C-alpha cells in the first residue's frame, strides 16, 4: 500500500464506536472464510498470552470498538527491537478495569502471519465482529473474539475501516496510497465481496453510510465522495463543501470524519490551513446534513485549533479533538455546536483519538513517547472530569 501502510501502522489511531440502536445489529451467520482457528489450538497459548504485550518496545492502539459502557475491544500494534511487529486483540467486559488478550497475528496459527497487522475492528453485538488489516485481510468472530475465521480478499490494499449498516450490508475502505482507494461491499453478510476503485488525489480518512444505498467517503485535500447505489459508483462532492467558505481551495481543506447517526442526519468535520507567511491558521468546521447528504450547512467550531477527530452521540452532543497537537484538551458541545466547552485530558501528551458510547463513558489515546512510539489508553466514566489509565506504560 505504498507509504500509507507505515503511516497507518504506528502513527494513526482509528476509533470506531458501535452506536446503540443504530449499529448494534447482528451479521448474517455462515462461514465463507478460508481458515478458522480457536485459541486453545495454539501451542503454549497461556504463556504466549502472558508476554504478548510486555515483550515489545513500541505500541500503538490501531482501533477501539466500544459496544457499550462495559464491553469493548482494542487492537494493539506492537513492534519489537528487531523490527518485528504483531497486532493483538484485547477485550474488556468491565469497562476496561481488566483486558483479556484474545489473539495475536504472529502466533504461527497457520491463518495469520508475522507480516500481518490489523487496522480496524467492529463488533455489532456481544458475539459477532470483524477486524480488517493488511493485504486484504478480513477476520470474523462469532463468539465474542474467542475464535476467529479469516479471509484473504482479492486485493493487495490495506483495509483501514469497516462499517456494517445491518445484518447483511457492510463496507470496507481499502487504500493503495495517495492516488487510488478501494471500496469493498457485501450484501450477504460477508459471504462475498465486490470491489470498486476510487481515483482520489490523496488519503481517504473515513466512511459512513446513511442507508443501504447512500454513503460517503472523505479525506485529505478536499476529497469527498458520495454513492447512491450502495458503493458501486462514486461521485465527487468535495468542492461543493469547500466552496461554502470564501477563498478556500481544495488543498486548504482536510475532511477528517464523516458520521451518519440515522438515515437523514449526518456530520462531516474538517480543518482548514490558510496560513500566510509560514504561520498556520487552523479553522475547525462542522458540516451537517438533514437530508442524507444531499445538502449541507457549515458552522465554525473553532477558529484557531482545527479539528482532527470527532464523535457525534446525537444531533446535539459531540466531542472534538483539536488538530493543533499542542492543545491538550477536548472540545464538547451539548447544544448542537452553539457553544463548545474545553475539557481537560489526563496528561500533557498529544491526544490521538477518542471514542465515546454516551455522555459519560469514553476512551482516548495519548502519545506518551515518540522514540520508541508508545500510546496510552485512558477511560472516563464522568464525561471527562476525571480519567483513569487502563493499559500500563511501557
Specify the pLDDT at position 228.
96
Q: In this model, does residue 26 exceed pLDDT 80?
A: no
Backbone angles phi, psi at 242, to 5 degrees: -60, -40
Fold entry, domain 200-344: Neuraminidase (2.120.10)
278 band by pLDDT with thresholds 50, 70 and 90: low
Q: What is the pLDDT of residues 28-81, one digit of tens each?
A: 333 334 444 343 443 443 444 444 444 445 678 989 999 999 999 999 987 654
Residue pair 318/355 in contact (Cβ under 8 Å)? The answer is no
Domain ranges of the chain: 1-199+351-394, 200-344
Specify the pLDDT at position 277.
53
Specify the pLDDT at position 276.
56
Query: pTM for this structure?
Result: 0.79
Mean pLDDT of 11-35: 34
Residue written as grid cell 481515483: 199
β-pair type (170-175, 181-186): antiparallel
CA 291 to chain centre: 25
Specify the pLDDT at position 394.
44
Residue written as grid cell 527491537: 81
Whole-number Cα distances in Å, 94 to 72, 195, 381: 9, 38, 12
Encode 335-357 in three state secondary structure. Answer: CCCCCCEEEECCCCCEEEEEEEC
* Dist. CA 315–CA 334, nearest whole Å: 9
Q: In this model, does residue 360 exceed pLDDT 90?
A: yes
Q: What is the pLDDT of residues 126-150, one digit of tens each?
A: 998 889 998 888 988 889 998 888 8
Dihedral sign of CA atoms 17, 18, 22, 28 in order? positive
Specify the pLDDT at position 197.
84
* Dist. CA 154–CA 265, nearest whole Å: 34
Q: What is the pLDDT of residues 180-200, one digit of tens each?
A: 788 999 888 788 899 888 877
Round the average pLDDT of the chain to a whole number and report it. 79
Contacts of 226 (CB under 8 A, 6+ apart): 214, 215, 216, 234, 235, 237, 293
Mean pLDDT of 92-112: 77
Dihedral sign of CA atoms 92, 191, 158, 150 in order? positive
Mean pLDDT of 300-323: 90
Amino acid at each position: 500500500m505504498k507509504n500509507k501502510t507505515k503511516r497507518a501502522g504506528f502513527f494513526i489511531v482509528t476509533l470506531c464506536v458501535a452506536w446503540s440502536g443504530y449499529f448494534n445489529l447482528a451479521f448474517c451467520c455462515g462461514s465463507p472464510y478460508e481458515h478458522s482457528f480457536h485459541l486453545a489450538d495454539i501451542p503454549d497459548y497461556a504463556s504466549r498470552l502472558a508476554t504478548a504485550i510486555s515483550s515489545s518496545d513500541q505500541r500503538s492502539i490501531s482501533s477501539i470498538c466500544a459496544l457499550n459502557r462495559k464491553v469493548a475491544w482494542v487492537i494493539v500494534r506492537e513492534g519489537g527491537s528487531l523490527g518485528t511487529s504483531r497486532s493483538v486483540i484485547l477485550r474488556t467486559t468491565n469497562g476496561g478495569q481488566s483486558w483479556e488478550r484474545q489473539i495475536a497475528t504472529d502466533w504461527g496459527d497457520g491463518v495469520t502471519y508475522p507480516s500481518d497487522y490489523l487496522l480496524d475492528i467492529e463488533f455489532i453485538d456481544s458475539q459477532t465482529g470483524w477486524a480488517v488489516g493488511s493485504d486484504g485481510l478480513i477476520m470474523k468472530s462469532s463468539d465474542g473474539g474467542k475464535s476467529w475465521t479469516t479471509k484473504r480478499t482479492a486485493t493487495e490494499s490495506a483495509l483501514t475501516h469497516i462499517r456494517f449498516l445491518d445484518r447483511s450490508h457492510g463496507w470496507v475502505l481499502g487504500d493503495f496510497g495517495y492516488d487510488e482507494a478501494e471500496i469493498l461491499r457485501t450484501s450477504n453478510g460477508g459471504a462475498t465481496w465486490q470491489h470498486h476503485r476510487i481515483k482520489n488525489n490523496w488519503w481517504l480518512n473515513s466512511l459512513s453510510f446513511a442507508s443501504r444505498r447512500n454513503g460517503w467517503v472523505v479525506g485529505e485535500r478536499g476529497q469527498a465522495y458520495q454513492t447512491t447505489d450502495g458503493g458501486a459508483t462514486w461521485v465527487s462532492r468535495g468542492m461543493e463543501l469547500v466552496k461554502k467558505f470564501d477563498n478556500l481551495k481544495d488543498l486548504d481543506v482536510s475532511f477528517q470524519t464523516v458520521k451518519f447517526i440515522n438515515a437523514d442526519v449526518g456530520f462531516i468535520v474538517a480543518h482548514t490551513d490558510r496560513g500566510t507567511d509560514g504561520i498556520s491558521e487552523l479553522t475547525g468546521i462542522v458540516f451537517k446534513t438533514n437530508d442524507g447528504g444531499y445538502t449541507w450547512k457549515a458552522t465554525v467550531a473553532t477558529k484557531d485549533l482545527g479539528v482532527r477527530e470527532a464523535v457525534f452521540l446525537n444531533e446535539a452532543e459531540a466531542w472534538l479533538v483539536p488538530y493543533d497537537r499542542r492543545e491538550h484538551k477536548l472540545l464538547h458541545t451539548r447544544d448542537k455546536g452553539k457553544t463548545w466547552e474545553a475539557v481537560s485530558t489526563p496528561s500533557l501528551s498529544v491526544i490521538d483519538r477518542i471514542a465515546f458510547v454516551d455522555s459519560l463513558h469514553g476512551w482516548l489515546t495519548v502519545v506518551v513517547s515518540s522514540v520508541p512510539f508508545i500510546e496510552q489508553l485512558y477511560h472516563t466514566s464522568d464525561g471527562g472530569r476525571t480519567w483513569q489509565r487502563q493499559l500500563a506504560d511501557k
